[in-house]
Structure 1
Amino acid sequence: MNLQALTQRALKGEVRELELLSLEGGFYLARVRLDHGQFTLLDDAAKPMHLRSVSHLREMLQLVPPFPCVLVQQCVHDEMCGVREGPIESMRIPFSLATPW
């Protein structure tokens, strides 16, 4: 899904959630959830769009109607130590496109 398609879906109220995935190396990827699946936000070359921060995402989507967003990060302690038993969930921190933290 490219930025134009995301904007059109947001205008129609079809975006259920945007997950901003924090990845190793200091960049982020956006994954858009609709009723019929999840789609990675793509750049003009149809490759996953690398974002620098939540602020970068806000800048890029400033003219798009708001929808629920969540920052998704893995717990570094769990990845390094691996001592917890059972499933290890990502940290999910809701944020708004309209207002800073």
Structure 2
Amino acid sequence: MNLQTLSERATKGEVRELELLSLEGGFYLARVRFDHGQFTLLDDTAKPLHLRSVNHLRELLQLVPPFPCVLVQHCVHDEMCGSRDGPVEPMRIPFSLAAPW
């Protein structure tokens, strides 16, 4: 899904949530959830769009109607040490597309 399609579907109120996934290497990927599936936000060459920060996402989507967003970050310490029993859930922090200042 590209930015144009995301904008069109957000205008129609179809976006349920955007997950901004924090990945190793200091970049983020956006995954958009609808009623019938999830899609990764793609750049102009149809490759996953690498984002630098929450503010970078806000800049890209400044003209798009707001929708729920969440920052998703896995705990590397738990993954490396494996000290907990059972699955380790990622940290999910809600945020707004509106500028914080």
Provide TM-score, normalisation by structure 2: 0.97
Between the aligned partners of 1:99 and 1:75, the Cα distance in structure 2 is: 26
Partner secondary structure for residue 57 of structure 2 = helix
Which residue of 2 is the match for residue 100 of structure 1?
Answer: 100
Which residue of 1 is the match for residue 18 of structure 2?
Answer: 18
Mapping for residues 1-101 of structure 1, pairs under 5 Å: 1-100=1-100
Between the aligned partners of 1:23 and 1:29, the Cα distance in structure 2 is: 8
Partner secondary structure for residue 29 of structure 2 = strand
User: How far is the alpha carbon of 1:29 from its aligned partner?
Assistant: 0.2
Residue segments in structure 1 that go unaligned for 5+ positions in a row: none
Amino acid at match of 2:90: S
User: How far is the alpha carbon of 1:76 from its aligned partner?
Assistant: 1.8
Amino acid at match of 1:81: C
